[in-house]
Structure 1
Amino acid sequence: MIPLGAIHFTPAEVALILAILTFGSIALALPATLTLAWVGYRRGTTRKAANALWYWFGGTALSVATTALAAGHLGWLAVPIGWIPTLLLAVALNPRPTPNAS
């Protein structure tokens, strides 16, 4: 028989659901965030890995927030839509090669 009452989750179940949603959204954002991290690595001067990590954190926050805002209206199409701001930021911040001064 199907219960018709409200569904009650324990705190452990809620934590598990939130962990799955968090890690899943981070994994789905990787194509855009790794691109921005590579740009951060290339823009770094002294601590390239730390710079890339901060760019990755920022890109992840931007991509996950955009996906979450679009998910209510677009469903799974919100995942690639969430990549757009992060990828545009990567294009804008990508260091241009300097021409050789002769």
Structure 2
Amino acid sequence: MIPLGAVEFSPTDIAILLAILTFGSIVLALPATLTLAWVGYRRGTLRRPANALGYWLGGTALSVTTTALAAQQGAGWFAVPLGWIPTLLVAVALNPRWTPNAS
């Protein structure tokens, strides 16, 4: 049977939908955010895992926000790789360069 009225969601339904969307967007952002986390690990001096976690959280926020903005502009599924671009550019800019020893 096809419902003819407005669809109403309970607060539990809304919470489940938001959790699924949040988890899905974090998973879709992993290719870029893990790259930035690796850069953060390499840049760390004292607490490398904590530094990597901070870079990952920042990269996730940047990537998810950019993906949401691209999706609002009608990019469809192209919004996902478009969301990776700023995070990957930050990773390239912050990537520590390897320099050989002078000796």
> TM-score, length-normalised on structure 2?
0.96
CA RMSD of aligned residues (A): 0.7
Structure 2: unaligned runs, 5 residues or longer = none
User: 1:99 Cα deviation (Å)?
Assistant: 2.6
Distance 1:61 1:81 in 2: 14
Map 1:1-102 → 2, pairs under 5 A: 1-72=1-72, 73-102=74-103
Distance 1:87 1:37 in 2: 11
Distance 2:54 2:4 in 1: 47
Distance 2:4 2:78 in 1: 32
Distance 1:21 1:62 in 2: 16
Identity %: 78
User: 1:5 Cα deviation (Å)?
Assistant: 1.4
Structure 1: unaligned runs, 5 residues or longer = none
SS at 1:61 equivalent: helix
Distance 2:19 2:47 in 1: 31
User: 1:55 Cα deviation (Å)?
Assistant: 0.1
SS at 2:97 equivalent: coil
User: 1:81 Cα deviation (Å)?
Assistant: 0.5
User: 1:2 Cα deviation (Å)?
Assistant: 1.7
